[in-house]
Structure 1
Amino acid sequence: MDQHTDSPKTRYISTASGVFAEKGYNAASLAGIADKLGVTKQALLHFFGSKAALYEEVLKALSDRLLSSIQNVEGASPEEQLRSFFLQLSTASLEKPADTQLVLRALLDAQASSENWPLKPFLDALGALAHKTKRWSQASDAELFCWIYQLIGSIQHFAISQVTLKGMYGAEAFEVLRETHLAQLRAALADLEKDPG
């Protein structure tokens, strides 16, 4: 077990992640996060200095989790690894929709300073893995990233819609939708061994 798992800083980042996911950067407040943690606002300022710095740490932690999921994905070939990654991302997004919601909130909150986007290392690693597949080996970065964004967007939209879908159609119908979504995701990943052309 990592010695920093239960550190105050880690706990603060974890709680702040949930608040930022729920409210977005602009609506979240240090006082509200501190209240959820049962600490003072000054305790958060001691570790992070500002709300912006805390938010940056939250997004960096999310990026690290996503990057780790790429680095630790199993598969004998780049095609198998990429397929496994997206299927695992789909499952994880449904099980932990707060991370997905945090990504979407961060995108909505992004300002002109987006060149420092904390998820860039994750996206770069995902792009590098995809470029190793037969299907995407000759693709331009624009073609590749549009494909990646279509898959990520589909996964994220489905994950954050699950409560609404269950409410509108019921839990049983949602399970059918979930299986259909996975089947469509598998189909989108089926031709990774295909030569480009």
Structure 2
Amino acid sequence: MVARAAQKLPIRDQVIEAATRLFAARGFDATPLQDIADEVGVTKQAVLHHFPSKEQIRRGVLDSILAHWRDELPRLLLSATASDERFDSVLDEVYRFFAASPERARFIVREALDRPAEAREMLRAIAPILRGIGGYIRTGLGERSDDIDPDAYVLHVMQMIIGAAAVAEVTTSVLDAGGQARYDRELARIAKASLFGRRRAAAEPAKKGRRS
């Protein structure tokens, strides 16, 4: 079989990419180790040289996803100066990451459905980062945050983005030309509206008062 993974990548990274695709498409339990080896174009023993078991491969897939967020999200939060800029940066990066490889989103959805205990473990690993984003939102909203739970809001937005990326290839077929771009724009608008739409709405009376 011709390997689908980029040949320039180290074997270990090729195994992670192949496993992400196969676990996303079939689920962990329905993916034999040999199929992962075939997808990469190497022997089963070559895969076992890097990962002693299929469970270790699953761990590698999770670690590759989590490592991105452990590195990238703190950088985004520190680089933006305003709370809405931070939220925009994080939102854009989360969707870009999963849209670039929808298999990542499908893998997470499958983990949540098929292996909920492991999915909860994954969420616990990134909980401090998610709470950090919630803290920035809370600070940015100030006194207007009383009717919003920023931590729960972040979870809903993450879930919405992951779900949208996982099924985008199917659902965007309902839209006419330019469907993917329209899909992406509306997703971003929905995610931001309940936070920053409230800020704009609060600012409008003040502007009118200054004009009168």
Specify the TM-score bucket, using the shorter chain as the normaliser: 0.7 to 0.9
- Residue 183 (structure 1) aligned with residue 186 (structure 2): no
Equivalent residue letter for 2:33: L
Structure with more relative contact order (C-alpha pairs < 8 Å, separation 6 or more): 1
**Length-normalised TM-score, structure 2:** 0.74
- Residue 157 (structure 1) aligned with residue 163 (structure 2): yes
Equivalent residue letter for 2:164: F
Per the alignment, residue 125 of structure 1 pairs with 129
Per the alignment, residue 104 of structure 2 pairs with 99
Matched positions, count:
188
Maintained 8 Å contact 2:83/2:140: no
Maintained 8 Å contact 1:135/1:193: no
Equivalent residue letter for 2:110: R
Alignment of 1:51-70 (within 5 A): 51-70=54-73
Of 16-25 and 52-61, more deviation after overlay is shown by 16-25
Per the alignment, residue 110 of structure 1 pairs with 115
**Length-normalised TM-score, structure 1:** 0.79
Maintained 8 Å contact 2:109/2:163: no
The change in CA–CA distance for 1:18 and 1:114 in structure 2 (over 3 A counts) is closer
Per the alignment, residue 17 of structure 1 pairs with 20
Per the alignment, residue 210 of structure 2 pairs with none
Equivalent residue letter for 1:53: Q
The change in CA–CA distance for 1:110 and 1:162 in structure 2 (over 3 A counts) is same
The structure with more radius of gyration: 2
Corresponding residue SS for 1:167 = helix
Q: Distance in 1 between matches of 2:48 and 2:105?
A: 26
Q: Which runs of 5+ in 1 are unaligned?
A: none
Equivalent residue letter for 1:98: E
Q: Which runs of 5+ in 2 are unaligned?
A: 1-7, 201-212
Q: Distance in 2 between matches of 1:131 and 1:192?
A: 18
Equivalent residue letter for 1:187: A
Of 185-194 and 60-69, more deviation after overlay is shown by 185-194
Q: Distance in 2 between matches of 1:103 and 1:111?
A: 10
The change in CA–CA distance for 1:176 and 1:77 in structure 2 (over 3 A counts) is closer
Per the alignment, residue 81 of structure 2 pairs with 76
Maintained 8 Å contact 1:93/1:100: yes
Maintained 8 Å contact 1:63/1:119: no
The change in CA–CA distance for 1:167 and 1:113 in structure 2 (over 3 A counts) is closer
Corresponding residue SS for 1:28 = coil
Q: Distance in 2 between matches of 1:113 and 1:119?
A: 9
Corresponding residue SS for 2:181 = helix
- Residue 34 (structure 1) aligned with residue 37 (structure 2): yes
Q: How far apart are 1:160 and its partner, in Å?
A: 2.0
Q: Distance in 2 between matches of 1:81 and 1:189?
A: 13
Of 13-22 and 71-80, more deviation after overlay is shown by 71-80
- Residue 7 (structure 1) aligned with residue 10 (structure 2): yes
Q: Distance in 1 between matches of 2:92 and 2:110?
A: 23
